[in-house]
Amino acid sequence: MKNSKGSLIRPVPLPDSISRPVVTPLSPSVVYASDTPDDLDAQYEGRTSGYTYAREGHPNADVLARRIDLLEGGTGGIVTSSGMSAVTAVMMGLLKAGDHVLGGDQLYGRSLRLMKQDLPRLGIATSLADPTDVAAMEAALRPETRMILVEVVSNPTLRVADIEGLASLCKARGILLAVDNTFTTPRAYRPFDAGADIVIHSVTKLLAGHSDVTLGYACAADPVLQKAIYDFAVTTGLTASPFDCWLAERGLATFNLRFDRAEANAVALADHLATLPGVKRVLYPMRADHPDQARAKALLGARGCNMVSFELEGGRKAANAFTRAADGLAFAPTLGDVGTTLSHPASSSHRALAPAEREALGMSEGFFRVSVGLEEEAPLLEVFTRAVAAARGAA
């Protein structure tokens, strides 16, 4: 980048340096100055590269997007202001009134709301089906179905979608397959390798990993589709802030290490919970008692995820006693932080459902989802031993 010119209002230019910073510089500038109109032409016509206005792109967003592209095996993905803005840019950048989109029936809460309320309001028809069952998904297709949106591992019951079956179905029927890879991450699973057309992330979660930024990522394999997603995001201002991108890049530097540690803790925690009296059931995709274990092993190989769900005996009273006694663990509805966090779907993500609907989905008042963090294993398991005992005492 050229730094040689100062200006009247900022007369001191950046110092010349023959050495380079090791860390990506933070570039909060919203506007970029050019030398001549000819230079601007060259830039807009793609003969040179450069920036003009941060809503359209800035170095920190590009550096972060290229890093995630590398992990996912994509090219030209964009970073957006949140995971939901990435979902929105994909759907609204690629779909039009009259199209139909089919979603997995256990999508992230706000993705579900977008499907159920907002897209239909704009003339885009939507429906939901079980993504672990390709025949059920196929039966829900319509002649005007243009896209399927699924998550690999669902929230909070950790069911594993049949991505390979869905990819073949989509290929055969000319339908776009969009995969939200937030829970699994490219460390465990790369949807493009399985034939997905679009990969989406809430970078807020494991990729950034420190609960201090809200960001998303969207990448289409087809550059024409990617351009449509980019244009929609720029037009509607879904742009990410440079500082958030800079922080996320810092988080990403340790992503593989964090994932491996959290996953190892999750395996240990799932097995530990299964031994504790007062725990009715444990859900972890790689365990033998999980309904999708075979598919989890086929898709995720040796890897699992950092999410474990379980059900306490004893309902709300036990749940209150559990979070009160879970000293050192945040009872907070997020995931992918460095620390272990607990979420209680009945009072948060799934509170809008009637109790009977929640029960049907297997989420009772005693149901918790754990996003396992990077703590030392022994003290982490100990907190759960104590908190489950406290819950049992209260039940």
Out of 159, 187, 190, 205, pick the active-site residue: 205
Q: How far is the CB of 209 from ligand PLP (least distance, A)?
A: 13
Which is nearer to ligand PLP, 145 or 204 (by Cβ)?
A: 204
Which is nearer to ligand PLP, 81 or 364 (by Cβ)?
A: 81
- Helix, strand, coil shares of the chain, percent, nearest 5, are 40, 15, 45
3-state SS track over 54-118: CCCCCHHHHHHHHHHHHHHCCCCCEEECCHHHHHHHHHHHHCCCCCEEEEECCCCHHHHHHHHHH
Q: How far is the CB of 180 from ligand PLP (least distance, A)?
A: 5
Determine, following the binding rule CB under 6 A, whether residue 99 of this chain makes contact with ligand PLP. no
Please name which of 77, 58, 88 lies closest in space to residue 222, comparing C-alpha atoms. Answer: 77
Is residue 180 annotated as part of the catalytic site, yes or no?
yes
359: which 2 tokens?
A: 């029960």
Q: Which residue has the tokens 């274990």?
A: 293
Site for ligand PLP in 31-60 (CB under 6 A): none
| Helix (H/G/I), strand (E/B), else coil: 216 | strand
CA–CA separation, 296 and 301 (whole Å): 7
Determine, following the binding rule CB under 6 A, whether residue 162 of this chain makes contact with ligand PLP. no
Question: Which sign, positive or negative, has the C-alpha torsion 297, 299, 303, 309?
Answer: negative
Site for ligand PLP in 174-203 (CB under 6 A): 180, 182-183, 202
Determine, following the binding rule CB under 6 A, whether residue 84 of this chain makes contact with ligand PLP. yes
Out of 105, 162, 180, 292, pick the active-site residue: 180
Which is nearer to ligand PLP, 137 or 238 (by Cβ)?
A: 238
Q: How far is the CB of 306 from ligand PLP (least distance, A)?
A: 12
Neighbours of 102 (CB within 10 A): 26
- State the DSSP string of 366-385: TEEEEE--SS-HHHHHHHHH
What track of x and - describes contact with ligand PLP for positions 110 through 149 (by CB under 6 A)?
A: -x--------------------------------------
Q: Which residue is nearest to ligand PLP (CB)?
A: 83
Is residue 108 annotated as part of the catalytic site, yes or no?
yes
Q: Figure out which of the listed residues 88, 184, 204, 309 binds ligand PLP, where binding follows CB under 6 A.
A: 204
Exposed (0-12), middle (13-18) or buried (19+): which is 339, by Cβ within 10 Å?
middle
Residues belonging to the active site: 55, 108, 180, 205
Residues that bind ligand PLP (CB under 6 A): 82-84, 108, 111, 151, 180, 182-183, 202, 204-205, 214, 216
